[in-house]
Structure 1
Amino acid sequence: MPASPQPIAKALPIAATIAAVFHEERILLVRRANPPDAGRWGFPGGKIEAGEPIEAAAVRELFEETGIRGQARRVFTAVDAFDRDETGGLRRHFVLIAVLCDWIAGEPVAGDDALDARWFRLDELDDTGLALSLDVAKVVRLAADIASGRG
């Protein structure tokens, strides 16, 4: 007797992109409106659409969430983001592909999935009262090293 088909796990990883953009020695962050990390500060980003290149998704999401026009420079790292329910069970697993982008034009205005959008100086990220998403400070510093030619 053939084995019955296995159901597809609802928590298969979802490819998404995040845009790291510097302007005047500040990094652009958004306060997330939706899980995971609703209410926390992170990078503008979102799901990659079928057939969409990673860099194009980063630039599209950057504009949709902040009104900032950017140009993708390069993919530089990836991080996991887990959306868990109240009991700790995994609802969704995102693989966030970080793209360093150059600022072209615009001032941040929260749109799409963002509650707020603004520029931060790097030293502001050390403020213990600032609710950052996991790994944001680490990714910002890596992006800063690459943007400055040190990485």
Structure 2
Amino acid sequence: MPNPPTPDHPIPAVLAIVIRGDDILLVRRANPPDAGLWGFPGGKIDPGETLHTAALRELHEETGVTARARQVVTALDAFDRDEAGTLRRHFILIAVLCDWIAGEPVAGDDALDACWVDLTGLPTSGLPLSRDVAEVAAQAAALRTEGGA
């Protein structure tokens, strides 16, 4: 199947960062960029959709978990390149800190797997992580602590 045409602009997308107790919710991505790697649930923002609404929708579609969106943590670039290194797509990922409400993760939509992972052991977990996952998780944990949750 041929690659989709390269958009002439970055694609806005969200990541849902959900921390429950000492654990953080991760999914193993099924699609590029980062297929097979562990990261946060997320995806493209639909037209007319707010960041918070998009994060909660993607979270539920990929894991079945429900949460309340709290605040933006950070924004990142993600580049999807073909085998030759040619840029296919450029995503701007906006990480949104969310408070867990209910549900146990079950992989759905474009996730191969979904589970809670010990937050403090994340950098040494041995999981093949997408770039910046451990750093964004630490930023989210710090904001969560500052916010009193």
Q: Same fold (TM over 0.5)?
A: yes
1:131 aligns with 2:123: no
CA distance in 2, matches of 1:24, 1:129: 21
1:35-79: per-residue Cα shift (whole Å, max 9, x none)?
000000000000000000000000000000000001100112100
TM-score by structure 2 length? 0.92
- Within the candidate set 126, 138, 144, 2:141 is matched to 144
CA distance in 2, matches of 1:9, 1:88: 13
Instruction: Say which one has the larger Rg.
Output: 1
Structure 2 gap ranges (5+): none
1:104-150: per-residue Cα shift (whole Å, max 9, x none)?
00000000010000001123322263100001111000000001118
- Between the two proteins, what is the percent identity of the paired residues? 63
- Conservation of the 8 A alpha-carbon contact between 1:11 and 1:91: no
- Within the candidate set 93, 114, 118, 2:115 is matched to 118
Structure 1 gap ranges (5+): 1-7
Instruction: Let me know the Cα RMSD of the aligned residues.
Output: 1.5
Q: CA deviation at 1:11?
A: 4.7
Count of residue pairs brought into register by the alignment: 143
Letter in 2 for 1:90: L
CA distance in 2, matches of 1:58, 1:18: 6
TM-score by structure 1 length? 0.90
- Conservation of the 8 A alpha-carbon contact between 2:6 and 2:88: no
1:83-110: per-residue Cα shift (whole Å, max 9, x none)?
0000111000000001000000000000
